[in-house]
């Protein structure tokens, strides 16, 4: 499996975990505006049609996963989880500086309030932990399955 493929799998897993937390936030606590809701606003979708925001959330997670697969070996930390956190928080900073203002949500989504900004940092850190952990496990699994003679891999 290539690094990009491992990143896609890890990005999907991380997106599922964060989506569960976001769904709980949206239905039980609603302590902050959820990322799929913010994506819906940026994409100018009606609030009563959240599916576009959820699809954009999944696409963003897969894209970040693929990018992480490429960049992971170059990130300056020691563990896959810390690399994931660094990457995901970096993605949040880039998104907060570029995408959020373009979409009308304000710098770092500040138009949604400080609680949402704090929630975005926390949810991105959770995303990064899961992303790095799953990616690291896939790399370790591949190393365990390698057969040294002839470079073939076990299936």
Strand partners, 146: 153
pTM: 0.85
| pLDDT for res 150 | 54
For residues 70 and 120, what is the distance between their CA atoms, to the nearest angstrom? 24
The 10s digit of each residue's pLDDT in 21-48 is: 888 878 887 777 777 777 777 777 877 7
Lowest mean pLDDT among 34-38, 64-68, 90-94, 142-146: 34-38
Number of alpha carbons in the 13 Å side-chain half-sphere of residue 16: 7
Average per-residue pLDDT for the chain: 87
Predicted local distance difference test score (pLDDT) of residue 153? 54
pLDDT in tens, 39-86: 777 777 877 778 888 888 899 999 999 999 999 999 999 999 999 999
Tell me the C-alpha distance between 15 and 45, whole Å.
21
| pLDDT score for 125 | 96
């Amino acid at each position: 499996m290539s690094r990009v493929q491992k990143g896609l799998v890890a990005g999907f897993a991380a997106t599922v975990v964060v989506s569960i937390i976001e769904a709980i936030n949206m239905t039980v606590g609603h302590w902050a505006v959820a990322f799929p809701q913010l994506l819906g606003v940026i994409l100018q979708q009606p609030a009563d049609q959240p599916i576009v925001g959820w699809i954009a959330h999944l696409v963003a997670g897969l894209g970040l996963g693929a990018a992480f697969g490429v960049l992971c070996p170059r990130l300056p930390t020691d563990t896959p989880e810390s690399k994931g956190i660094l990457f995901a928080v970096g993605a949040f900073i880039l998104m907060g500086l570029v995408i959020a203002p373009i979409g009308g949500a304000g710098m770092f989504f500040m138009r949604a309030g400080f609680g949402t900004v704090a929630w975005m940092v926390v949810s991105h850190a959770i995303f990064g932990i899961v992303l790095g952990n799953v990616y690291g496990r896939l790399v370790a699994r591949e190393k365990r399955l390698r057969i040294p003679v002839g470079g073939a891999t076990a299936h």
